[in-house]
Each structure stands twice: as C-alpha cells, then as structure tokens.
Structure 1
Amino acid sequence: MNLAKRFVADESGATAIEYGLVAAMMGIAVVTIFTAFRGKLTEAFDTMGDALKTQASNIK
C-alpha cells in the first residue's frame, strides 16, 4: 500500500511530459502555419531565387 501511495504522489516525470506536450503543440502550430502560407512562401522563395540568379549572371 505504501508503494502505491508513493507512486501516486511521485511527480518527477510530470514536467518532462508537460515539456513534451508543449513541444508537440508548437510543432503542430508550425506545420499548420507553413501549410496555410505555402503558396506565399513558395512565391517569396521563387522571387528570391530569381533575384539571386539574376545577380549571379551579372557577376560573370
């Protein structure tokens, strides 16, 4: 019975679980944001890539 009471009162792993849940929620938020803005991000990176190609071709 004493072992069961100590097991129920033990909170040493609770913090690690909480940090894991927070990290999982942040990961889900990042994926959701990137998915929502995929078109705009693709357009922005394409524009930057084109600008870099133009500048690189001017150097040669």
Structure 2
Amino acid sequence: MTNLLSRFFKDESGATAIEYGLIAALIALAIITGASTLGNKLNTQFTNISNQLK
C-alpha cells in the first residue's frame, strides 16, 4: 500500500498534461487577439478606401 501511495505522489503525468493545456490555451488566446486586431485594422483600411472612392 505504501508503494502505491508513493508512486501516486511521484506521478507527474497529469501535471504535465495540464501544463500543455495551459500553454495551448495561451497560444490560442494570442492568435485570437492578433487576428482580431488585424481584422479591425483591415476593416478600417477598407472603409477608408471605400470612402475615398465615393
């Protein structure tokens, strides 16, 4: 029983999976933020071009 408990406390595979999940979430957040910013800038640029053509 002691051996089972010591292996349970030394097992870090769950912690590693959580860390990878957090890293993936942060990367996804950065991509979403960057794409949103780029989209807003492109929308503004196309609006300016459209207004100049009128």
TM tier, smaller: 0.5 to 0.7
Tell me the TM-score normalized by structure 2: 0.55
Residue 34 of structure 1 and its aligned partner are, at CA, apart by: 2.0
State the percentage of identical aligned residues.
50
| 1:4-47 deviation line (CA, Å, top 9, x unaligned) | 2211101223332222111110001111122223222335688x
Residue ranges of structure 1 left out of the alignment (5+ in a row): 47-60
Please state which structure has a larger fraction of its residues in helix: 2
Asked which structure has the greater RCO (Cα within 8 Å, sep 6+), the reply is 1
Tell me the TM-score normalized by structure 1: 0.50
* Alignment coverage as a number of residue pairs: 46
